[in-house]
Amino acid sequence: MNLYDAVLAILEKRRVLKAIPHQEERRGTQRVLEDVAKFASPEKVAAYILEQTEPHAPGDVVLLTGAGEVFPFFRIHTLLHCMLADFDEVPVVAAYPGSFNGSSFQLFNRLPADNYYRAIDIS
C-alpha cells in the first residue's frame, strides 16, 4: 500500500483534497501541512490500511511504500506504532528511503534517527 495514495484517499473521503491548492494560496503552506496532518494522522492512516487489507489471512504480508512521500505529515515509526495492535499477526514491511544501522532509521540519510526496536533490515 502506498502511503501517499492512502493520504490522498483519506483527504478525498473527507472532501478536502480539492480545496488544498486554494487553501495553500490563501493561508500558506505551513498551515495547510498542519491541516493535512490532522486529517490524515498516523492513526487515521493506520485505520485506513486496516480497512483496505482486512480480513487478514495466514501468510498475508502488508507492504508499505511511499514513506518519503508522506514526510513531513508523519514519520514511518509513528505509523508502525499505530498499526501494532491491529497488525500483530501480519508482518508489515516498509520500504524506507534512508538507512538503517541495526537499531534506528535515518530518513533520507539526513534527518535524525528515530529508534524503532522491532525493525530489521531485509535487504
Cell of 100: 538503517
**Phi, psi (5° rounding) for residue 7?**
-60, -45
SS (H, E, C) 94-113: ECCCEEECCCEEEECCCCCC
Q: What is the pLDDT of residues 10-25, one digit of tens each?
A: 999 999 999 999 999 9
pLDDT of residue 116: 56
DSSP state letter for 18 = G
Using 50, 70 and 90 to split pLDDT, how confident is the model at 63? very high
Domain of 84?
A: 3-115
Cell of 76: 514511518
pLDDT greater than 80 at residue 50:
yes
pLDDT of residue 119: 60
The number of distinct structural domains making up the chain is 1
pLDDT greater than 60 at residue 100:
yes
Q: How far apart are CA 24 and CA 32, in angstroms?
A: 6
Residue 120 belongs to some domain of the structure: no
Mean pLDDT of 44-48: 97
User: Which of the given ranges, 45-49, 73-77, 115-119, has the highest pLDDT on average?
Assistant: 45-49
pLDDT greater than 80 at residue 65:
yes
Residue 41 belongs to some domain of the structure: yes
**Helix, strand, or coil (residue 87):** coil
Report, in this order, helix, strand and coil percent for the chain, each rounded to 5: 45, 15, 45
Residue 19 belongs to some domain of the structure: yes
Using 50, 70 and 90 to split pLDDT, how confident is the model at 120? low
